[in-house]
Amino acid sequence: MRELKLKAMAKVNLGLDVLRKREDGYHELRMIMQSIYLYDRIEIRRSEEKGIRVFTNLYYLPTGPENLVYRGAELLMKEFQIQSGLEIRLEKHIPVAAGLAGGSSDAAAVLLGVNRIFGLGLSKEELMERGVKLGADIPFCIMRGTVLAEGIGEKLTKLPGAPSCQVLLAKPKIHVSTKSVYGALQAEKLPFHPDIDGQIQSIRQGDLYGMAEKMGNVLETVTIQRYPEIQALKDGMEKMGALKAMMSGSGPTVFGLFDDRRTAREAYERLRKGSLAKQVYLTTFFN
């Protein structure tokens, strides 16, 4: 195989809880992660020219080792001593630094692609073991679907697909540092913990309303305090008919779940014309 085209799916967190800060500095997490039908396109080609070359449609994205796509390819090519060159074309559609795991998903797609294009024969589990060395979200982005993630995000349990609905995403005109949010989080003093077990039960029962009701993200306690426009987006979506709206990951993207396509479309149009969000998308879960 000389060429491969892939889709790298974004994710949202339907529930995100932090149990404690570990001795190694990482946080012990418990969260439900969900793939959504918003994706980057990736093309991988074998090349006669040695080395890894990355091309993107966004001028400000790095194309060297600072990019997870490059590092994903490099990881496998070094391990298996692959001498062929590789050309990667990345067409970004997932907002950057948005709490949607865009970079992690791109890296996951490249790991899958390099494995296939060079016939390395690695299983998904083996790719996930390698992927976590580059980022905690990468194993999930290889697995995809509806997943319970624990540990630092690397212990994954596949769940039944979440009930179908319309998903409205809105990213405000701000940049949030994940490292800074976790650094400021006081895990032992959190005012609430989302009902992750109850949410899993609702998912197993196909109960969209129960699942939405139990949504919660403890990182909002830090990010919303710094950026009140995130709360304004949440409130706005719920006034427009969302069953529940919540920040994804460490932010700043807010997503709302709708049980009615028309209501979701009207909310999408209103947000697009408003000033609260820079980027707005209407999509569905990917299972």
CA-based torsion, 286, 267, 280, 131: positive or negative: negative
User: If DSSP codes are grouped into helix, strand and coil, which group holds residue 171?
Assistant: strand
Of the residues 11, 171, 214, 234, only one is catalytic, namely 11
105 annotated among ligand-binding-site residues: yes
- Cα–Cα distance list, 214 to 24, 27, 198, 201, 249 (Å): 30, 22, 7, 10, 16
Nearest Cα to Cα of residue 52 among 41, 64, 42: 64
Cα–Cα distance measured from residue 166 to residue 261, given in angstroms and rounded to the nearest whole number: 6
Give Cβ neighbours of residue 167 (< 8 Å, ≥ 6 apart). Answer: 12, 36, 255, 256, 257, 258, 282, 283, 284, 285
96 annotated among ligand-binding-site residues: yes
222 annotated among ligand-binding-site residues: no
Cα–Cα distance measured from residue 74 to residue 68, given in angstroms and rounded to the nearest whole number: 10
Of the residues 17, 40, 106, 137, only one is catalytic, namely 137
104 annotated among ligand-binding-site residues: yes
149 annotated among ligand-binding-site residues: no
184 annotated among ligand-binding-site residues: no
97 annotated among ligand-binding-site residues: yes
277 annotated among ligand-binding-site residues: no
100 annotated among ligand-binding-site residues: yes
Cα–Cα distance measured from residue 125 to residue 208, given in angstroms and rounded to the nearest whole number: 30
Catalytic status, residue 133? no
Structure-block tokens of residue 79? 């391990």
Catalytic status, residue 195? no
Binding positions are 95-105
| Active site members | 11, 137
Bind-site residues for ATP = 95-105
